[in-house]
Chains A and B, each alone.
Chain A
Amino acid sequence: MTVAEAVTTSDRAAHQAGGGGDRRTKRAWKVSPLILAFVFVPFVVEAVWVFWPAMQGFWLALTKWDGLSAPTFVGLGNFKDMVSDPIFKTALKNTAIWLVLFGGLSVIGGFGMALLLQRERRGVGIYRAALFTPVVFSLVVTALIWRVFYQPDGLVDSVLRGVGLGDFIRPWLADPDTALYAVILPALWRQIGYVMVLYLAGLKAVDPALYEAAKVDGASAWQRTLYVTIPQLKGVNSVVLSVIVIDSLRSFDIVWSMTKGGPYHSSELLSTYMYSTAFQSTQLGYASAIAVVIFILALAVILGYLIRAFKEES
């Protein structure tokens, strides 16, 4: 695709400069070495640093390896083990919960905030900046701040006690029933600001004339959002979807720095389980197999969406 684009651009340039029909066909066949270099040098770098290790990951997923001795081939044994592994099942379930709650709520929240803050009003910049600030922090820093909120007799506990809900107080990050949700909250706190910025950019690109027309036709505010804004944001939606699916599946840092997947695996995601099997239990073959599962999940969700989007376009 890059090649084709590059070729057409250079064609156009040639056409404008020389204008000769002969020259044009010649150019189409003879690609400039500079362009070839632009394509192949990154390809080689990518091949060495990305494709080759990725292929190795697929190969390791079929082996048993402790990182010390040579890996032994076990075929699909690792994947068979997964089926009967209760921790893997918990991690898979939690990843699904994470995808739905973290992904869904960040889209709803981000879109809602963008709608609220899209119109230029006095002081709106302050609100936008405030919502975007959490994105600037590293997730590990975010995790540290929230851990202080959650600690026994910390901010959360004091607030609950203050409003007379002292009975609800729990060891938030140490209780298996609340740990996962207690981690999703700070992740959302950050992601909503990010999604909001994406939607704000999308809303800016919507032609105001469409709203004028809708208004003239007597459409209510709700109808304008439903029938003008949302269809106009189709392009942004695919970006947001890819971003949140990828962000959900690779969420690791915030979980690891808040609970390490504990207590006893109750907030384990596929990503944290992959890390702990690889580097704590040194079962690198099994960990690679989990990585393959994560990869397939991400690919399936995103491909599914892209195929649908292309179908609608054609």
Chain B
Amino acid sequence: MRNDRVESGQRRREQRATGELSLQSNLSAVQAKGAMEKLVAAYNKTGGAQVKLNTVASEIYRTQLPTYLTSANPPDVYTWYAGSVADSYAKKGLLLDVSSVWEGLGNYPKAMQTLSTSSTGEKIFVPTSYYWWGMFYRKSNFAKWGVTPPKTWDEFLAVCKTIQSKGVPPIGIGLGDTPWVASAWFDYLNIRINGAPFHRDLLAGRGRFDDPKVKAVFTKWQEALPYFDPKGKSFPFQEATSALLGGKTGMFLIGTFFADSAPKDALDDIDFFQFPIIDPAVPVAEEAPTDGYFASKKAKDPEGVKKFMTWLATAEAQEIYVQSSSGTAIPANPDGKSADTPLVQKGKAMIESAAELTQFFNRDSSDALQPTADAALTKFLDKPDQIDKILKDWQAAAEKVFNA
């Protein structure tokens, strides 16, 4: 009886399987979209199920993802982020268990495995690339101003002071339209002062934003506030990138994706340094947002999906993507070759030597918590004397999201 039911279920699934998989992608930037098309074309030549790529503008994708996953006939495979944000969907029982894919991924680092495991212990995610955040600057400008990349917080403040004395705002930022960029400062200060485990607990709702340890992050941040570019409040990070490249700001804490909106010749003059160390006793953590894929639990052909995801996890597939995109992403597979520029090699080395990795504010919490951080952090940059009230409001707003 039970066997019968299983068999008929299988038959039904086979009938429904059309030999075609749908891949929903949020990589809508020109270069990334082209790279995805190449990737899918390469897989379709291997003779598995034919994959159909559907690219959606990233902002629409983010708001529609819950709808895709809960619909009656959802797309099969999705581009998304590893960590808490993927687990939040797994908790609702929406994601396919891809543990069998991971059987062949023994060479992946431990951190990637943890990021791809749901709170119930199933593997739900296949990472394919990651990138890093750093304090980017123009080598020629640093030489002109006579400063060298700082290692500690005090050295950093000294560099800021020197650059300011040359009449240039030392720290660039772009908060108009892209207020989430400020979260990088919060993330880094928190993991440098309180450490990555505290940071992750806080973002998962196991801590409080009005904790004195969180306040310490903001009092440290205050020391650097006079050096921020006042115009940064008005324009998005793309324009902050232009300001950095044009020598109108000294340094810019940003992820490597900024390179997508930078002219190629300027990139040769770009270098970065690690976010300064504040407390040497805290194990060094870096932000390394990991991108990849998960699949719907209702996938019409789970075996075909797993086969596709197994292929996506190979070094070969990841190299196809990295080579055709802007080239600053690093393959998740340790055997995959990243772009051979000194910048990428340096970034890769920094991430590999880190004791702990974090993702980014929204990825370590949820997309719903991000707006609460945006409001709190932009307000702090404007009214740094109101820390206590800001943190109280932030905690209240965060509780609302966690209880939603």
Binding site for B on A (CB under 8 A): 64, 66-69, 81, 86-87, 150-152, 171-176, 260, 262-265, 276, 279-283, 286
- Identify which of B69, B177, B233, B368 contacts A282 (C-beta below 8 A): B368
CA distance A87 to B394 in the complex (A): 12
Decide if B371 is an interface residue (CB 8 Å cutoff).
yes
CB distance from A81 to the nearest CB of B (A): 8
The stretch from B23-31, B265-273, B372-380 touching chain A is: B372-380
Residues facing A in B116-146 (CB within 8 A) are: none
CB distance from A150 to the nearest CB of B (A): 8
Is A64 in contact with B175, judged by CB distance below 8 angstroms?
A: no
Q: Take A68-B70, A176-B382, A281-B404 as given contacts and tell me if A151 and B235 are in contact as well, using a CB distance cutoff of 8 Å.
A: yes
Decide if B393 is an interface residue (CB 8 Å cutoff).
yes
- Closest residue of chain A to B70 (Cβ to Cβ) is A68
CA distance A309 to B139 in the complex (A): 72
- Identify which of A151, A264, A279, A281 contacts B401 (C-beta below 8 A): A281
Contacts of A276 in B (CB 8 A): 371
- Identify which of A67, A175, A283, A286 contacts B66 (C-beta below 8 A): A67
Contacts of B375 in A (CB 8 A): 262, 264-265
Contacts of A68 in B (CB 8 A): 66, 69-70, 89, 92, 94
Is A173 in contact with B66, judged by CB distance below 8 angstroms?
A: no
Which applies to chain B's interface (DSSP): helix, strand, loop or mixed? helix
Is B234 in contact with A173, judged by CB distance below 8 angstroms?
A: yes
Decide if B231 is an interface residue (CB 8 Å cutoff).
yes
Is A171 in contact with B371, judged by CB distance below 8 angstroms?
A: no
Contacts of B230 in A (CB 8 A): 171
Is B368 in contact with A281, judged by CB distance below 8 angstroms?
A: yes
Contacts of A265 in B (CB 8 A): 375
CA distance A115 to B367 in the complex (A): 52
Decide if B336 is an interface residue (CB 8 Å cutoff).
no
- Closest residue of chain B to A152 (Cβ to Cβ) is B231
Extra A-B contacts (18), CB below 8 Å, given A173-B234, A176-B382: A64-B404, A67-B67, A86-B393, A87-B397, A172-B234, A174-B233, A174-B234, A262-B375, A263-B379, A263-B382, A264-B376, A265-B375, A280-B367, A280-B370, A281-B368, A281-B372, A286-B400, A286-B404
Which applies to chain A's interface (DSSP): helix, strand, loop or mixed? loop
Contacts of A173 in B (CB 8 A): 176, 234
Q: List 22 A-B contacts (CB under 8 A).
A: A64-B404, A68-B94, A69-B92, A81-B400, A86-B393, A151-B234, A152-B231, A173-B176, A173-B234, A174-B175, A174-B234, A262-B375, A263-B233, A264-B376, A264-B378, A279-B63, A281-B368, A281-B371, A281-B372, A281-B404, A282-B66, A286-B404
Decide if B302 is an interface residue (CB 8 Å cutoff).
no
Decide if B179 is an interface residue (CB 8 Å cutoff).
yes
CB distance from B249 to the nearest CB of A (A): 12
Binding site for A on B (CB under 8 A): 63, 66-67, 69-70, 89, 92, 94, 175-177, 179, 230-231, 233-235, 367-368, 370-372, 374-376, 378-379, 382, 393, 397, 400-401, 404
Is A152 in contact with B234, judged by CB distance below 8 angstroms?
A: yes
Contacts of B374 in A (CB 8 A): 262, 264
- Closest residue of chain A to B64 (Cβ to Cβ) is A279
Contacts of A279 in B (CB 8 A): 63
Is B176 in contact with A174, judged by CB distance below 8 angstroms?
A: yes
Contacts of B92 in A (CB 8 A): 68-69
CA distance A87 to B234 in the complex (A): 22
- Identify which of A64, A66, A86, A171 contacts B233 (C-beta below 8 A): A171
Contacts of A64 in B (CB 8 A): 404
Q: Take A264-B382, A280-B368 as given contacts and tell me if A171 and B63 are in contact as well, using a CB distance cutoff of 8 Å.
A: no
Closest 7 CB pairs of A and B: A174-B233, A264-B379, A152-B231, A264-B375, A171-B234, A281-B368, A283-B404
CA distance A66 to B376 in the complex (A): 23
CA distance A64 to B404 in the complex (A): 7
CA distance A286 to B400 in the complex (A): 10
CA distance A248 to B397 in the complex (A): 27
CA distance A86 to B401 in the complex (A): 15
CA distance A264 to B181 in the complex (A): 14
- Closest residue of chain B to A84 (Cβ to Cβ) is B396
Contacts of B70 in A (CB 8 A): 67-68
Is A283 in contact with B234, judged by CB distance below 8 angstroms?
A: no
Is A262 in contact with B179, judged by CB distance below 8 angstroms?
A: yes
- Closest residue of chain A to B94 (Cβ to Cβ) is A68
Is A152 in contact with B179, judged by CB distance below 8 angstroms?
A: no
Quick one: which of B179, B231, B235, B375 has the most chain A CB within 10 A? B375
- Closest residue of chain B to A153 (Cβ to Cβ) is B231
Contacts of A263 in B (CB 8 A): 175, 179, 233, 378-379, 382
- Identify which of A86, A262, A283 contacts B378 (C-beta below 8 A): A262
CB distance from A146 to the nearest CB of B (A): 13
Contacts of A264 in B (CB 8 A): 374-376, 378-379, 382
Contacts of B400 in A (CB 8 A): 81, 281, 283, 286
CA distance A264 to B380 in the complex (A): 9
